[in-house]
Structure 1
Amino acid sequence: MVDEIALHRAPTTIADAAEIADWLKPRVDATVSVRDRFLEVHRSDELPERFAEARVVSPYDRDTGNTMLGTIRYEERALENPDREGGVLYDGQRVQRALNSALPPEERGLETLHAAILDRAIGTWGAHDGRWHKRVNVLGQPALVSVPGLYEAPAKPEAYYREKQRHSLLSGDAPPREVLENRVEGEFLVENDPRTTDALKGYVLQAYDFLETGNAFCDREVCRLFNAHHHEDLIAAQLREPEFCAEHARRYDPS
């Protein structure tokens, strides 16, 4: 039984942890607290090397890790100055184990769920197709919620990738959000999207539900607990009414 959800900020992102906490409070049978950045509060001397070990080196290589001195130094700098981190995909389960070991022993149990909002991209290995897949969250203790994953993990409409490639060939950089939104049919979230906080609420609740029930996700697309693989499904699940399917409404609908 989860008694407390400790929600850790990611101050380098647009995600508003306090707003997520306020949304959770009437929906869960636990106290909800907002804490500072996990990688600041629970930093240990081993974390730079653990992050280096968790680096995905190739989309199709199950083995991870680059522990050369320069890489470890990069991870040290990224912990000190998170604004400088980016463009790296990490094995989410390795990162989860590293962060669990960084918790105080008395907070590693399941009574206090640590939900760490991260400014890093995380993934899991797909044994079914032999490649890494970016994820929005990794459930467990602590639960990882990746803000870059919200934008990058679910598939966007095919026209999005064509327009992005076309713009890059012509200008050499990524197109602004407004260009993509005006030229591509379909709905999707992009970096610093103003809907980020709203969309993340359900992903944090998924972490709580997993520890409470043992169930990983809901299979109904009209539910905040649905694990969307496409942006249009993500928007339908997280940003449209109803918030929950009938089963999960009985558990989480505060009305």
Structure 2
Amino acid sequence: MDQITLYRAPTAAADADAIADWLGAHVDAEVAVRERFLSRYADDDLPEEMASVRVLDPYERETGNTMLGIVRYEERAVESPERAGGVIYDGLELQRLFHRRIPDAERSLAHLHVVLLDRVVGTWGDHDGRWHKRVNVLGQPAIVSVPGLYEAPAKPDQYYEAQQRHALLTGDSPPREVLENEVEGDFLVENDPRTTEALKGYVLQAYHYLATGEAFCDEEQCRLHNPHRHPGVVEAQLRDPDFCPRHAERYRR
């Protein structure tokens, strides 16, 4: 692989330049940063295509709602990304519609595109019949969801225990901000100052997959590990060592 292009997520707490600098120090490829993917490659068809890959129900495989109001929402969200939120998109279908917009001359696997995205993406689980939020979707282009970093991994057990206690006392679900302030533990929250550091490993996973065909590492203390719980994310991305012994040989420079 000769080149990696990273696209900014301007409304998210992710410093694309810092991620690119770190990545460039660990891989043998030229790393460049471009503006937001959805701004660079927006066209008249994009809002309706985005609407067509919306997840409608966490337990229904079928996606998409292209009613006029939904398409108008997507138009506004493309133009003003700070207005987007509360929607999950089929990550694999979103990847396909992004891929069609990459210029033909840049689609080679020698040039990886990594889209830092300010939207939540998911993949369907045939094993349990529901959608699962994801931090990244590997491939060309790779998608790294910034809100997915906060929402996809499960929180510590204490978080859900506090949620249940609050519901028993009040009959209502507590605001997320209340739980984040009450519960001690290793988990990341929206606009967490550790966001950029944590995302470095997820971007490297995109490179590693295209370069080697290996999706993730089984070792919990490795940037290439893909844990399903927040304490595991903290362990893999925010604590030493950066890599397991096997991957340290490839990426520690």
TM-score, with normalisation over the residues of structure 2? Answer: 0.94
Residue 207 of structure 1 aligns with which residue?
206
Residue 230 of structure 2 aligns with which residue?
231
Q: Which amino acid aligns with 1:118?
A: L
Residue 175 of structure 2 aligns with which residue?
174
What is the CA distance between 1:175 and its match in structure 2?
4.7
User: SS where residue 33 of structure 1 aligns?
Assistant: strand
Residues 123-171 of structure 1: CA distance to partner in whole angstroms, max 9, x if unpaired? 0001111100000000011100001100000000132134356289599
Q: Does 2:136 match 1:137?
A: yes
Task: Provide closer, same or farther for how the CA distance between residues 175 and 74 of structure 1 changes in structure 2, counting only shifts above 3 A.
Answer: closer
- 1: CA distance, partners of 2:243 / 2:174: 39
Residue 99 of structure 1 aligns with which residue?
98
What is the CA distance between 1:69 and its match in structure 2?
1.3
Structure 1 unaligned spans of 5+: none
Contact 1:199 1:238 in 2 (8 A): yes
Q: Which amino acid aligns with 1:44?
A: D
Residue 108 of structure 2 aligns with which residue?
109
User: SS where residue 100 of structure 2 aligns?
Assistant: helix
Residues 6-53 of structure 1: CA distance to partner in whole angstroms, max 9, x if unpaired? 010000011000100111111001000111000011112221111111
Q: Which amino acid aligns with 1:134?
A: K
Q: Does 2:249 match 1:245?
A: no
Matches within 5 A, 1:115-134: 115-134=114-133
Residues 43-100 of structure 1: CA distance to partner in whole angstroms, max 9, x if unpaired? 1222111111110001111110001111111111110011000000000001000100
Contact 2:163 2:173 in 1 (8 A): no
Task: Provide closer, same or farther for how the CA distance between residues 211 and 77 of structure 1 changes in structure 2, counting only shifts above 3 A.
Answer: same
Runs of 4+ in 1 over 4 A off after TM superposition: 167-173
Task: Provide closer, same or farther for how the CA distance between residues 169 and 100 of structure 1 changes in structure 2, counting only shifts above 3 A.
Answer: farther
- 1: CA distance, partners of 2:129 / 2:64: 17
Task: Provide closer, same or farther for how the CA distance between residues 62 and 181 of structure 1 changes in structure 2, counting only shifts above 3 A.
Answer: closer
Task: Provide closer, same or farther for how the CA distance between residues 169 and 143 of structure 1 changes in structure 2, counting only shifts above 3 A.
Answer: farther
RMSD over aligned Cα atoms: 1.8
Contact 1:155 1:230 in 2 (8 A): yes
- 2: CA distance, partners of 1:162 / 1:74: 36
Query: 133-142 or 42-51, which moves further after superposition?
Result: 42-51
Matches within 5 A, 1:1-255: 2-164=1-163, 166=166, 169=170, 174-176=175-177, 180=179, 183-254=182-253
User: SS where residue 7 of structure 1 aligns?
Assistant: strand
Contact 1:164 1:175 in 2 (8 A): no
What is the CA distance between 1:172 and its match in structure 2?
7.9
- 1: CA distance, partners of 2:180 / 2:90: 31
Contact 1:44 1:102 in 2 (8 A): no
- 2: CA distance, partners of 1:175 / 1:191: 10
